[in-house]
Amino acid sequence: MDDHHIKPLFRVFLVFILLGARISEGAREFTLINYCQTTIWPAILSGDNSNGDGLALKAGQSVVFTLPDGWKGRIWGRTGCNFDLNGNGSCQTGSCGSSLKCSTSGKTPATLAEFNLVPVNYYDVSLVDGFNLPITVTPVNGQGNCTIVGCEKDLLDNCPSELSIKDDSKTVGCRNACDMFDTDEYCCRGAYSTSDTCPPTNYSKLFKKACPTAYSYAYDDSSSLFTCSDADYVISFCTKSGKNERVCTYHINRLICSGSLRRASTRKWLVVLLLSFVSLCSSLLL
């Protein structure tokens, strides 16, 4: 594993309790890792838009938070943002209005990680709202299939010109055909409102070929919706390391890693936190 992928796990883990959830066996630990070369602004929003949050995540940083069992919602990354000290501002992609902390869905195009934390968790990565960042979801220490899913490829490189969103001639987002053309055929509505009458289009096939485990259009369930029980989740932005990379998250005073049922000791995790604290202090003093 190269230095670019090791550093995030030893940098500061910003731990906070999101939406009032407690760290307990009744909550799932979520770890966000920014492997991108620049700062991104992840957003977290419940399905009914009643609770949401957002933060800045610099290149190489990670953040750990909890969500309660039964939570349903989405997580996505925003790019090209500029917020003032009061959390007011705007973003090139994924913007949820003018606030750092989201209380409404992000503006398309935005790659989504979606979760329904019922006893058997449902999760997916969706391109139905278009694409702005590569995202991978890795279940950790769960039971069941618990497949690693996502869209690791950067679709901005090969986005059809008619779907591309540009800023100063640079493609920053790739729209979904429904969002772009707003027709019943592309949006699976009207006469095309069932799985039988709304097959994949040439555009959704392009998305599916690049990212086989991600939703490419509304009725893409059979190859895009996954389940896992009693898992924590690691959401990686811009990772290109492959599906066999070992990722870790912190849960119930234990360091838990994918690919193994072994749990690292609390003492080892405290050493990691100490190293992270020293790294943070050094960066603040520079």
- Higher local confidence (pLDDT), 30 or 248: 30
pLDDT of residue 50: 66
Helices (H), the chain: 3-10, 177-181, 184-187, 202-210, 266-285
For 146-182, write each residue's pLDDT tens digit: 999 999 999 999 999 999 999 988 999 999 999 999 9
Query: Considering the entire predicted model, what is its pTM?
Result: 0.78
pLDDT of residue 13: 38
Residues 227, 231, 234, 239: is their CA dihedral positive or negative? negative
For 207-220, write each residue's pLDDT tens digit: 999 999 999 999 99
Residue 17's pLDDT band, with cuts at 50, 70 and 90, is: very low
How many whole angstroms separate alpha carbon 187 and alpha carbon 120? 29
Percent of the chain at pLDDT above 70? 74
Q: Could you give the domains of the chain?
A: 3-154+211-285 (2.60.110.10)
Mean pLDDT of the chain: 82
Residue 87's pLDDT band, with cuts at 50, 70 and 90, is: very high
- Omega before residue 109 within 30° of 0, cis: yes
pLDDT of residue 222: 87
pLDDT of residue 73: 96
Q: What are phi and psi of 2, to 5 degrees?
A: -80, 170
pLDDT of residue 257: 55
Residue 243's pLDDT band, with cuts at 50, 70 and 90, is: very low
- Look at residue 223 and tell me whether its pLDDT is greater than 80: yes
